[in-house]
Amino acid sequence: MGYDRERTIKNVSDFFGNPLAVNKPSEFKDLMDLAQVSNADSLYHSPVINDMPMSHNDGNRVDKAVVELIGNQSAKETIRLIRVTLNNMDDRYARVIYLRHFKCLPMIDIAETIGYSPSNVEKLLETAYYRFALWSESFLKLTCPVGIE
């Protein structure tokens, strides 16, 4: 079965989102958050700490804990599968995805890190996205078959 390369690349790009956009959500950012994966290079804002007393009404804490545990386990497993996928891909493709979405580097910094021009990094990232979609098809379903709108 053939895949529509451009649409598949767009799906993967949308899945990862722009790592430098502060208020633009993506499925990958949500997974990282749910999995409680700390990423020192991500856009992190320290919590505001003050000494004002607060009252919390958490409702049923057991139900909330179970829901969080289930959500966290699913997200952690998906993140683990993403890492396995990257480890199985050709290093140059996996590295560009890692630098862009795990280390949150801008394209110009990736270009300097790997010794490519920014335009070649963009082409490399597109190919990496396409290969990532193929490698992760069993659990992410990011590919688009040819001829299906």
Comparing 34-38, 100-104, 122-126, the range with the smallest average pLDDT is 34-38
* This prediction's pTM: 0.75
Domains in the chain, CATH or no CATH each:
5-40+65-140 (1.20.140)
End-to-end C-alpha distance for the chain, whole angstroms? 15
Structure tokens at 28: 């990958």
Bridge partners of residue 42, in order along the sequence: none
Question: What does the pLDDT read at residue 89?
Answer: 94
14-41 pLDDT, tens per residue?
999 998 888 888 999 888 888 877 653 3
Bridge partners of residue 145, in order along the sequence: 3
